[in-house]
Amino acid sequence: MSQEHAPKKPEQNGASLADAESKLARALREMGQSSAVVSLLAVVIALAVGALLILAADPSVRSTVSYFFARPGDFFVTSWTTVSEAYTALFRGAVFDWTAPEFSRAVRPVTETMTNAVPLILCGLGIAIGFRSGMLNIGGQGQIILGATFAGFLGYTLSMPVGVHMLFALFGGLLGGAIWGGIAGVLKARTGANEVIVTIMLNYIALYLLAYLLQQQWFVQTGSNQPRSTGVDESARLFGLLGDGFRLHAGFLLAILATVFVWWLLERSTLGFEMRAIGENPHAARTAGISVPKATAMVLIIGGGLAGLAGAAHVLGTQYSLTGGVAAPWGSMPSPWPCSAAPSPWAHSSRAFSSADCRPEACSCRPPLERRSTSFWWSSPLSCC
């Protein structure tokens, strides 16, 4: 028998099988570490858990459970109807409403989602820089407040040409957030103060500082006792992207530019390498000649500046005036924090967009009155469905 037609030895077969298993395990591991796969699995799991919560909160589904073994079909039909109606309403209210009489109204939900995503992207990017650097920046709310305060005050007190005024107000918001984040950064760099405690305390200081300023006439310039400032000048407002009838503004372009900047900062710049190095091992980074105090302060300064831009975009593009709740829809909600744990700025932005999809005002309908008695449904993130 020729050598090429000779049967393989058992040792060769075992080696080939082990090599194939090794390649399969390596491929599965790389697939599991892919940001796209992780994001897809996160969406699938979230939809599954959301469906279970919807079923548990729906009275009609719970009523069919009592006679499940007698007529199981009722349970499955009612469950499918309830979940499908809920997610259909969520899609219609957040992405595309095919029942709208006009095309402009049909695409308005996705533009509202993009508008709501702007502060989430900007604030979450600022917090994500801290995550990649081994720090927990919990001061997003305070940094948003300071950014909104600076931007709003510059927006209605100054008189400048169109475009220049807008850029100046945006820079004010960036500066306000950077100052507020820099306080925590300098304290941590100089004294080793815990950034979690410091940023949480700064949130309350910013909240009460804004409440005090809204009681001062030199600040609000309205002549009224209402805790609300005068409106931002037209020259300082972020211009719309789609014309009348849509709220989508230039802040969305700003969020895209910020995502590109954070990617470049973390992956291509020397400062970003230093930030990641102190997050991995500050002692090794110090041994390598990296100034750990400087890098630590810069992490919170840049992160605070991005969160300040989120507040500025909200005031200059959507709200147009300062109130005590200027940061309530964004800085206090948990959405930016899970988004900031994304493996890359691009993955973070996509997750922030998904978080904006699930905001209550993004849904196309409200639950019937008889369902509102169920406190769990009415208080859950999917209560709008």
pLDDT of residue 356: 62
Q: Are 259 and 121 in contact (CB under 8 A)?
A: yes
Encode burial over 253-268: b for 16+ CB neighbours within 10 A, e otherwise: ebbeebbeebbebbee
DSSP string, 282-320: HHHHHHTT--HHHHHHHHHHHHHHHHHHHHHHHIIIII-
Query: Residue 323: phi, psi to the nearest 5?
Result: -135, 170
Rounded (5°) CA angle 320-322-323 = 125
- What count of other Cβ atoms lies within 10 Å of the Cβ of residue 181? 34
228: which DSSP letter?
A: B
Is the pTM here over 0.75, yes or no?
yes
Instruction: Tell the burial category of 29 from Cβ atoms under 10 Å away from its Cβ (0-12, 13-18, 19+).
Output: exposed
Return the closest-CA partner of residue 117 out of 253, 234, 245, 243.
253
pLDDT, block means (10 residues), the chain with 385 residues: 53 61 70 70 88 93 91 93 92 87 88 90 90 89 94 93 94 96 94 93 94 92 86 93 88 93 92 92 91 94 95 93 78 48 63 62 47 34 33
- What count of other Cβ atoms lies within 10 Å of the Cβ of residue 159? 9
Return the closest-CA partner of residue 220 out of 324, 141, 328.
324
Q: Are 89 and 363 in contact (CB under 8 A)?
A: yes
Instruction: Tell the burial category of 341 from Cβ atoms under 10 Å away from its Cβ (0-12, 13-18, 19+).
Output: middle
Give CATH for domain 112-356. Answer: 1.10.3470
Place of tokens 């306000």: 176
The CA distance from 39 to 62, in Å, is 32
pLDDT of residue 278: 92
Looking at the chain, the domain(s) classified CATH 1.10.3470 span 112-356
CA dihedral sign of residues 185, 186, 189, 193: negative
